[in-house]
Amino acid sequence: MPGMRSGSLAAVGKALTIVGLVVCAAILLLGVLYQRPMVPQLLVAITLAISIIPEGLPATATIVMALGVQRMARRHALVKTLPAVETLGGVTVICSDTTGTLTLNRMTVTHVATDGGFTAGEATPVDDLGRSVADASNGETGTGIGSAAGLLLTAAALCNDASLDPDHPGEVIGDPTEGALIRFAQRFGIDHEALEDRFPRVAECPFDSERQRMTTVHRVGDGLTAYAKGSVEGLLPLCDRICGDDGTVRAMTSADRGRILALCRGMAGDAQRTLGFAMRTTDASQAGLAPGTPDACAAGPGSPVLASPDPAVLERGFVFLGVTGMIDPLRREAGEAVRSCSAAGIRTVMITGDHPLTALAIARDLGIHRPGDTVVTGADLARMDDAALDAVVGSATVFARVTPGDKLRIIDSLRRTGEVIAMTGDGVNDSPALEAADIGVAMGVAGTDVAKGAADMILLDDSFATIAVAVKEGRRVARNIQKVIQFLLAGNIAEITTLLVAAALNLAAPLSGAHILWVNLATATRHAPVRSGTLFDCGLVGRVLAQGVFVALMTTAAYWVGTGWGAGAGGHAVGQTMAFCVLAFSQLLRALNQRSTTEPVWVRAEGANPWLVAAVLCSLALTMAVLLVPALREAFGLASLTGGQWAVTAALAAMSLVQMEVAKLPGRLRGRRDAV
């Protein structure tokens, strides 16, 4: 079922205005054809035209959405615009990144694999690595170690843009993955900042999602050394040699590549995020640097302007050092949030740069991926045209090794297939996808300012569970607005039908202009809070028509009974008074019964709404004042009713409550049957 989109409220208001004006013109035309007095007929038509235009809808909807925004903010979801709340109610797919949203964003290096590990087919736990490094280096750690593990530690510390937070010892500023590498090096005695001072960076090729790696160049003695880190499948094609555990370098064979990839698949299957490391010694010309660049960049302390060599020149002829495996613990609440979304008909799709097997393991643990679902990689996307992507996007729950451009294609495909998408992102490159989604969701903790600017909603805690809460609140707001529309339209239809039938039968108007305006003024803004749903659907249309026509019948019956109670003008006044009472009291009773479309009026699972009760009592008091105070009764052209007339009026008004309860029975029975 299509969800609410921005501007749907305006479309509803415009449609109601057009319908109201057409009906009013018809009533006026019928009066002219029957040669009824023009002035009273014109006043009724104008009054009906004024009352049918839902002037209270924009204000009420704005209040409902503003209250929803407040509730979301208390649950760590900051919504930037009110139309976004409207759209949230119709979200059918949540596209989520992994790091920090489904996980805690607390990366920890747990395993390391070098040449011996590739041969054995298993990575070494980090707790055991210290002994291996010490044994290979006679107790030394850090650069200068001949072992592959020691060189890998050096690469992890130097090929790194994160830094230690001087104000909060133990915390790292920068990317959580790089922060984990700094802490990893620290565990084996490597001081990240001291190492950078000793081997200053002179050039760099920053991380790029297309290349899936970054490379830094450092001055080591009289020469240059380049260190690279990135996805293993992205690094291996650049390597022609491999470093053994004893520090010796040999040529890399196809068998070596196969063992490395097999080990990484095994680590990824255990939900570890693998990262490869490589290095090469070079000089300025081989690195693609201008002569003298290293000396100029290394002169003095501070933050020098680094050279940016061509990756195609620099990133070749590497020596492969090894692989690290990292674990990012899952958020405990994420799994429950995914299940809650699934129960509400919302599909969760993981879009990540992780290895497919890592992403699949996480998706299975969280319940995102189920038997029969599809895993699509960035390489798969590159081979698909839009038609092929549209065919698979409905069953795909994991997209792995994707680029920002891939994210945009996925969003466009989901929208083409009729989905309403909430999309998460935190980086600058995510901004196109955030803008393309129906609801862009930026990370408030780890997100960039560019991502936050492009998003419609900001997660103050970066948690997926907060997205689920926001969508639930959006659905609550949508249903509240739907109930407002149902309440307003049913009353308007009752008024229109009553007057239209009277005009068609050439009868006196059962309601005067003053009566219509008073009913709308006193009762047309009462509604009860409800949960879940979309703004305008077939069920709503059916309920509005059924309630409106039924109330019109009861109002007409009250007028007919009242006119038969008296004679001449006196009978007409009694009939109008009884019709006015039935219409007004029916509105108030329906306000109390708007809470649910299935549960009876006496069921209040969350307790009574005191504000609603107070509003209904206030409206009832005002209406009774018009009926009982002689001066007001005379001003509105109403008659004083007898006890019998009051009894008939109350019975006819109560029938609207009976009609609503009967209409709820099929839905309640279906719900019980589905729950069995």
As a whole number of angstroms, the distance between CA 562 and CA 508 comes to 13
- DSSP letters for 33-78: HTT--HHHHHHHHHHHHHHHS-THHHHHHHHHHHHHHHHHHHTTEE
Written as six digits, the tokens of 646 are 């009051």
CB 179 within 8 A of CB 108: no
As a whole number of angstroms, the distance between CA 435 and CA 454 comes to 6
421-425, strands of its sheet edge to edge: 77-79, 457-459, 439-443, 421-425, 93-96, 347-351, 396-400, 374-377
Q: Is the dihedral of CA 462, 93, 468, 481 positive or negative?
A: positive
Q: Are residues 150 and 279 located together in one domain of the fold?
A: yes
As a whole number of angstroms, the distance between CA 584 and CA 495 comes to 11
Q: How many CB atoms lie within 10 A of CB 637?
A: 14
- DSSP letters for 527-582: --------SS-HHHHHHHHHHHHHHHHHHHHHHHHHHHHS-HHHHHHHHHHHHHHH
As a whole number of angstroms, the distance between CA 490 and CA 592 comes to 14
Written as six digits, the tokens of 173 are 């500023």
Amino acid at 637: G
As a whole number of angstroms, the distance between CA 274 and CA 236 comes to 13
In a domain, 176, yes or no: yes
The packing angle between helices 538-565 and 643-675, to 10°, is 160
CB 511 within 8 A of CB 495: yes
Q: How many CB atoms lie within 10 A of CB 285?
A: 10
Q: Are residues 314 and 176 located together in one domain of the fold?
A: yes
Q: Are residues 64 and 89 located together in one domain of the fold?
A: no
As a whole number of angstroms, the distance between CA 475 and CA 469 comes to 10
Strand-pair partners of 275: 324
Q: Are residues 216 and 354 located together in one domain of the fold?
A: no
Q: Are residues 241 and 390 located together in one domain of the fold?
A: no
In a domain, 578, yes or no: yes
List the CATH number of the domain containing 91: 3.40.50.1000
CA angle 392, 397, 402 (to 5 degrees): 85
In a domain, 2, yes or no: no
SS3 state of residue 331: coil
Q: Are residues 383 and 248 located together in one domain of the fold?
A: no
List the CATH number of the domain containing 22: 1.20.1110.10
In a domain, 468, yes or no: no
Distances (CA, A) of 52 to 175, 493, 552: 57, 8, 15
Q: What is the mean pLDDT of the chain?
A: 82
Strand-pair partners of 276: 230, 323
In a domain, 148, yes or no: yes
How many domains is the chain partitioned into structurally?
A: 3
As a whole number of angstroms, the distance between CA 42 and CA 146 comes to 99
List the CATH number of the domain containing 112: 3.40.1110.10
Q: Are residues 432 and 493 located together in one domain of the fold?
A: no
In a domain, 514, yes or no: yes
CB 184 within 8 A of CB 156: yes
Q: Are residues 294 and 206 located together in one domain of the fold?
A: yes
> Which pLDDT score is estimated for 564?
82
Residues forming the active site: 97
CB 510 within 8 A of CB 498: yes
Q: Are residues 378 and 317 located together in one domain of the fold?
A: no
Q: Are residues 623 and 512 located together in one domain of the fold?
A: yes
In a domain, 582, yes or no: yes
In a domain, 1, yes or no: no
CB 426 within 8 A of CB 444: no
Query: At 570, phi and psi to the nearest 5?
Result: -65, -40
* Final residue of a structural domain among 434, 462, 490: 462
Question: Residue 214: which H helix or E strand, with range?
Answer: strand 213-220
* Final residue of a structural domain among 327, 356, 391: 327
Q: Give residue 59's domain range.
A: 8-76+473-675
Written as six digits, the tokens of 453 are 């600017």
* Final residue of a structural domain among 296, 327, 358: 327
> Which pLDDT score is estimated for 671?
57
C-alpha 240 chain-centroid distance: 46
C-alpha 250 chain-centroid distance: 51
3-state secondary structure 449-494: HHHHHHCCEEECCCCHHHHHHHHHHHHHHHHHHHHHHHHHHHHHHH
> Which pLDDT score is estimated for 538?
59
Q: Are residues 452 and 535 located together in one domain of the fold?
A: no
Amino acid at 190: I
SS3 state of residue 629: coil
Written as six digits, the tokens of 340 are 């809650």
As a whole number of angstroms, the distance between CA 97 and CA 62 comes to 32
CB 46 within 8 A of CB 24: yes
3-state secondary structure 94-144: EEECCCCCCECCCCEEEEEECHHHHHHCCCEEHHHHHHHHHHHHCCCCCCC
Q: Are residues 290 and 335 located together in one domain of the fold?
A: no
SS3 state of residue 609: coil
Question: Residue 8: which H helix or E strand, with range?
Answer: helix 8-33
> Which pLDDT score is estimated for 524?
52
SS3 state of residue 230: strand
- Enumerate residue ranges in the chain where pLDDT < 70: 1-13, 16, 47-56, 130-146, 290-305, 512-513, 517, 520-539, 566-569, 595, 603-608, 667-676
CA angle 278, 279, 283 (to 5 degrees): 155
As a whole number of angstroms, the distance between CA 278 and CA 192 comes to 18
